[in-house]
């Protein structure tokens, strides 16, 4: 089921939690809403579910405007971080619950509900545990039951709000891979909320990066990592370095030195240069490049991170070197970013306001 969010604004007591958000989710896609706490992820998910109504704008399911349809009419499946299972019901009863409470006309026969619950428990690799009660399961197993329960109603869209948030790191990683496999098997249109960038980048077909009630960028993991389109995305996903520069006739300057970076699209004036620590090339001399004094160096997994002071102590940037690179022992290093972007400052100031 395609889901289209069109110019949605959502206010709570006049306070805007979402500003004019538009997003097209393709049928069968696994999409992650990624952003810091308070950025509006849950609000957007609840609007898709029908648990909230937009203040302005619309939510379409396929070709129909579902903005005023109830949760039941939308037929969505949910898994929340703390959406507890029913304690007094067995695992199989929990999974079959959504079918059992249907009106008689659409309710499957009891034997069919049981068969379907067993099938779903197979899918989430909990076969044989149908007779247990939730308190006899681990946290990871309970979330798998919650997913089976959400899938039981054959939802048109599956909505997951930080479903693995309460689990420890190892279990989270396992469940993440497992969820991806389940998704590839069942092909449900799925929206997954997380504040964990690693989870979003590894799991999703496309990542929607949110900040302060707005969508900052939508793209594949490679898009948002390699081609961030705003200072926020540079800062929020992965590591980045920033340096104040200025742009003159399409060239990037650091004080009185041209850096050999051309930015024909950028407007003249003060700007910030952003790049990733690993996206740099080291240079011998420095006619047009960035040179700095090594202030600190630390080993990070298979590489070395070197902190450089640029132009005295005012600005520090970080670059990444191979562990055995000769430059690692030097006190002065010259480099040029290979992939980078400049953002002019007035835009920045306007965004922060
Ligand atoms: P996230 O899931 O990204 O952490 P939320 O969507 O929960 O963010 O919240 C976005 C903003 O909307 C926050 O500032 C939050 O305080 C506010 N908000 C969310 N739900 C309500 C509500 N029911 N009433 C008032 N404010 C709310
Ligand atoms: Mg939330």
**pLDDT tens string 76-85:** 999 988 767 9
pLDDT at 334 over 70: yes
**Domain residue spans of the chain:** 3-233, 240-352
Query: Which residue has a Cα nearest atom 23 of ligand 1?
Result: 12
Q: Which ligand is nearest to the CA of 40?
A: 1
Task: Verify whether ligand 1 is closer than 6 Å to residue 170 (CB atom).
Answer: no
The residue contributing the CA closest to ligand 1 atom 21 is 12
Return the structure tokens found at 177: 């891979």
Output the pLDDT for position 353. 42
DSSP assignment letter at 290: E
In percent, the amount of the chain with pLDDT more than 70 equals: 97
* pTM of structure: 0.90
318 with 305: CB under 8 angstroms?
yes
CA of 37 to the centre of ligand 2 (A): 6
CA dihedral angle for residue 249, residue 252, residue 253, residue 258, rounded to 10 degrees: -90
Please state the rounded mean pLDDT for residues 268-286.
91
Buried b (16+ CB within 10 A) or exposed e, 146-172: bbbbbbbbebbbbbbbbbbbebeeebb
Stronger pLDDT, 32 or 84, i.e. the higher one: 32
Q: CA 204, CA 78: separation in Å to the nearest integer?
A: 17
> Is residue 37 lining ligand 1, measured as CB closer than 6 Å?
yes
b/e for 123-142, b at 16 or more Cβ within 10 A?
A: bbebeebbeeebeebeebbb
- Same topology, domains 3-233 and 240-352? Answer is no
Average pLDDT (89-118) is: 94
- The mean-pLDDT minimum among 2-16, 18-32, 51-65, 98-112 falls in 98-112
- The verdict on the CB of residue 34 being under 6 Å from ligand 1 is no
**115 C-alpha to center of ligand 2: Å?**
34
Q: Whose CA is nearest to atom 20 of ligand 1?
A: 43
- The structure tokens 């399911």 sit at 61
d(CA 350, CA 290): 28
What is the spatial distance between Cα 13 and Cα 122, in angstroms, rounded to a whole number? 45
Whether 352 shows a pLDDT value over 70: the answer reads no
* Nearest C-alpha neighbor of 48 from the set 81, 13, 10, 96: 10
Task: For ligand 1, say whether the CB of 12 is within 6 Å of any of its atoms.
Answer: yes
pLDDT of residue 350: 46
* Residue that is written with structure tokens 């970013």 in the block: 337
6 pLDDT exceeds 60? yes
Q: Which two tokens stand for residue 210?
A: 């949110």
Q: Whose CA is nearest to atom 26 of ligand 1?
A: 12
Q: pLDDT value at position 313?
A: 66
pLDDT for 348 equals 47
On the question of pLDDT at 346 being above 70, the answer is no
Query: Cβ(17) to ligand 1 under 6 A?
Result: yes
Check pocket membership of 57 for ligand 1, CB cut-off 6 A: no
Q: Does ligand 1 come within 6 angstroms of the Cβ of 14? A: no
- Computed over every residue of the chain, the mean pLDDT equals 92
State residue 220 phi and psi, 5-degree precision. -70, 170
Fold exhibited by the domain 240-352 = OB fold (Dihydrolipoamide Acetyltransferase, E2P) (2.40.50)
Whether 211 is in the pocket of ligand 1, judged by its Cβ within 6 Å, is no
The minimum-distance atom of ligand 1 relative to the CA of 10 is: 12
Ligand closest in space to the Cα of 36: 1
pLDDT in tens, 114-149: 999 999 999 999 999 999 999 999 999 999 999 999
Dihedral sign for Cα atoms in the order 43, 47, 51, 54: positive
Distance CA 32, CA 29 (A): 10
Where is average pLDDT lowest: 191-200, 268-277, 295-304?
A: 295-304
Pocket flag, ligand 1, residue 42 (CB < 6 Å): yes
**Does ligand 1 have an atom closer than 6 angstroms to the CB of 40?**
yes
Counting ligand 1 atoms within 8 A of each CB, the residue from 38, 47, 82, 161 with the most, and so the one to mutate, is 38
Place of tokens 């991806």: 180
Residue nearest to atom 24 of ligand 1 (CA): 12
DSSP secondary structure of 183-251: HHHH--EEEEEES-HHHHHHH-SEEEEEETTEEEEEE-HHHHHHS--SHHHHHHSS--EEEEEEEETTE
Topology annotation, domain 3-233 = Rossmann fold (3.40.50)
The torsion angles phi and psi of 320, rounded to 5 degrees, stand at -115, 135
């Amino acid at each position: 089921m395609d889901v289209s969010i069109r110019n949605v604004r959502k206010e709570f007591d006049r306070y805007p939690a979402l500003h004019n958000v538009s997003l097209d989710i393709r049928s069968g896609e696994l999409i992650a809403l990624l952003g810091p706490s308070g950025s509006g992820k849950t609000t957007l998910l609840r609007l898709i579910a029908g648990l909230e109504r937009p203040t302005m704008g619309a939510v379409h399911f396929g070709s129909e405007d579902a903005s005023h349809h109830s949760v039941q009419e939308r037929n969505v499946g949910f898994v929340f971080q703390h959406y507890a299972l029913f304690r007094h019901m067995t695992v199989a009863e929990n999974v079959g619950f959504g079918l059992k409470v249907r009106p008689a006309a659409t309710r499957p026969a009891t034997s069919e509900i049981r068969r379907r619950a067993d099938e779903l428990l197979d899918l989430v690799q909990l076969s044989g545990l149908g007779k247990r009660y939730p308190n006899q399961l681990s946290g990871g197993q309970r979330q798998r039951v919650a997913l089976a329960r959400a899938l039981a109603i054959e939802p048109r869209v599956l909505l997951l709000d930080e479903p693995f948030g309460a689990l420890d790191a190892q279990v989270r990683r396992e469940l993440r891979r497992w969820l991806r496999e389940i998704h590839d098997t069942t092909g449900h249109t799925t929206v997954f909320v997380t504040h964990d960038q690693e989870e979003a980048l590894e799991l999703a077909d496309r990542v929607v990066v949110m900040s302060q009630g707005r969508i900052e960028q939508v793209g594949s993991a490679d898009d948002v990592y390699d081609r961030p389109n705003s200072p926020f995305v540079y800062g929020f996903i992965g590591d980045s370095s920033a340096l104040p520069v200025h742009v003159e006739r399409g060239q990037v300057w650091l004080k009185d030195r041209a850096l050999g970076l051309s930015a024909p699209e950028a407007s003249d004036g003060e700007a910030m240069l952003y790049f990733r620590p690993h996206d740099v090339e080291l240079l011998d001399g420095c006619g047009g490049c960035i040179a700095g004094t090594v202030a600190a160096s630390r080993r990070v997994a298979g590489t070395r991170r070197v902190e450089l002071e640029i132009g005295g102590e005012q600005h520090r940037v970080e670059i990444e070197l191979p562990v055995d690179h000769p430059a690692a022992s030097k006190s002065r290093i010259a480099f040029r970013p290979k992939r980078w972007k400049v953002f002019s400052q007035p835009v920045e100031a306007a965004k922060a306001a």
